[in-house]
Structure 1
Amino acid sequence: MSDEGKPVEEMSFEEAMRALEEVVGQLERGDVPLEQSIALYERGAKLKKRCEQKLKEAEEKVAAITLDAEGQPKGTTPVEGL
């Protein structure tokens, strides 16, 4: 399934990452005209920014979950094997 028609701003992290991988693949093959390559590069930059934004949001959610009201770590249980 292609996410090409969906606005980047509405994509989930997974959708944006998948679309970014498609863009990179097309650019690496080098079989697209120059003007299309420029458009792909611009789309790739938007997709990269969206992925970074979604990762930051996820990090903030994790931080909010793992810190108490004073900003101190809550009691956490280490993950087995780490």
Structure 2
Amino acid sequence: MAKERFEEALKKLEEILRKMETGEMTLDESLKAFEEGIRLARLCSERLDEA
């Protein structure tokens, strides 16, 4: 189950990165996406540590 959560978090993180790279997000949207990206990156790191 941890593997599935890792893959799901990584997929969401990649989606956030693609959206941010377009440059079409507002500053507020970018900040929210950044915060979510940090949360997801930490989750992925924790899952890797558990492996």
Q: TM-score, normalised by structure 1?
A: 0.57
Q: Tell whether 2:49 aligns with 1:25.
A: no
Candidates 18, 24, 48, aligned match of 1:55: 48
CA RMSD of superposed structures (Å): 1.1
Runs of 4+ aligned residues of structure 1 deviating over 3 Å after TM superposition are none
Aligned length: 48
Higher relative helix content: 2
- Structure 2 spans left out of the alignment, 5+ residues: none
Bigger RCO (CA 8 Å, 6+ sep): 2
Which protein shows a greater Rg?
1
Q: C-alpha separation between the residues in 1 aligned to 2:18 and 2:26? A: 14
- Structure 1 spans left out of the alignment, 5+ residues: 1-10, 59-82
The C-alpha deviation readout for 1:27-63, integer Å capped at 9, x for no partner, is: 11111111000000000000000000000001xxxxx
Match of 2:6 in 1: 13
Identity %: 38
Q: C-alpha separation between the residues in 2 aligned to 1:30 and 1:13? A: 27
Q: C-alpha separation between the residues in 2 aligned to 1:30 and 1:50? A: 25
